[in-house]
Amino acid sequence: MPEANKNTPHENKRPFGDRPPRDGKRPPRRDRMDDKPDDGIKTKMVQIRRVTKVVKGGRNMRFSAIVVAGDGNGSVGFGMGKAAEVPEAIRKAEQAARKNMEKVALSEFSIPHEAIGEFSASKVYLRPAPEGTGLIAGGSVRAVLELAGIKNITTKSYGSRNPVNTVKATVMGLYSLRSPEKIAALRGKTVEDILS
């Protein structure tokens, strides 16, 4: 009986390597990273920038990313990540954004009341709008509001337009919102008294 050719490829060979599949063991790392559970949280990258640290031996180049995460139903957060490679920086920022998510008070069509968010030299003014107005916001402010699930709002940015500071100011403004139920409970009144 002729000897089988030793150079024939394994029938179940992985498309990216010569190693046969691991029976009963966890899948290779690149497969594990792609199999993320769908938890309904969306992410949006706001900015990637190359940063440099000058050290004794020269310059260390790295990448910094800022990502906003939200479920479109009132929860939103942001995160920053830094790494030597762009995908790793984005992954770190996504993890931080998911971890930092907080619930925001929303009304039926917009936000319950006006709010001003401030961070450093950036200031963002948030104003509720009637149904049909749409999302009137630009740049990084729009990314935060979209992922928070706000459909109708008018915004205006003052001061620094730095994307990092603008995202932080917007999130601070959203976190400062309070629902009529919460205000009524604090004042010892009914919701109808607050809204009238």
Strands 122-128 and 153-159: antiparallel
pLDDT digits over 76-100, tens only? 999 999 999 999 999 999 999 999 9
Mean pLDDT of 135-152: 91
Assign residue 183 the CATH number of its domain: 3.30.230.10
Among candidate residues 50, 80, 102, the one where a domain is terminated: 102
Residue 169 domain-assigned (yes or no): yes
Assign residue 75 the CATH number of its domain: 3.30.160.20
Residue 83 domain-assigned (yes or no): yes
Q: What value does the mean pLDDT of the chain take?
A: 83
More confident residue, 90 or 31: 90
Containing structural domain, residue 149: 103-187
**If you write DSSP's letter for every residue of 15-84 in order, what string do you get?**
TT-SSPP-TTSPPPHHHHHH-----S-EEEEEEEEEEEEEETTEEEEEEEEEEEEE-SSSEEEEEEEEES
In the chain, what percentage of residues exceed pLDDT 90? 57
pLDDT at 4: 52
Indicate whether 31 pLDDT > 70.
Answer: no
Q: How many domains does one find in the chain?
A: 2
Indicate whether 159 pLDDT > 80.
Answer: yes
